[in-house]
Homo-oligomer: A and B are copies of this chain.
């Protein structure tokens, strides 16, 4: 599995922030409840998203988390790579500077194309589109993530 709960939960959190944009900071506990993510785990994901500049956080009463950029400027690819690390499906297509060792993996040429296609598709999707899609399908907190 290329994408674990890290990527899934993290994207859920960003979608939640996007849907509540302009309403001031959103609290971790609210995101956790609405998106059905364990709060103490969400903590780590928000920390990572903050380190990579996707969100801004403020402490104290009334604090919480906000998007640092417009949802239309946030690419799914970047979010997932922030949360999951490299999305390379097989070792021999890793995005390291391919200096020195030519890969031993004979399937490289096949996977290279798959990887590029994947990155292209994920680059083409923004947080704004994910929100739009969720709205179209009436998937929101109350509908899908609550008990």
How many identical chains are in the complex?
Answer: 2
Q: Is A89 an interface residue (CB 8 A)?
A: yes
Report A96 CB to chain B, min CB distance, Å: 14
Alpha-carbon gap, A99 to B114, bound state (A): 28
What residues on B are CB-neighbors of A144 within 8 Å? 104
Partner of A90, one of B3, B117, B130, B145: B3
Of chain B, the residue at the smallest CB distance from A125 is B110
Alpha-carbon gap, A36 to B109, bound state (A): 20
What residues on B are CB-neighbors of A67 within 8 Å? none
**What are 29 pairs between A and B in contact, CB < 8 Å?**
A1-B88, A1-B91, A3-B89, A3-B90, A3-B91, A7-B90, A8-B91, A8-B105, A8-B107, A11-B107, A15-B106, A36-B104, A76-B107, A89-B89, A89-B118, A104-B144, A106-B130, A106-B133, A106-B134, A107-B130, A110-B121, A110-B125, A114-B118, A114-B121, A114-B122, A117-B117, A117-B118, A117-B121, A118-B118
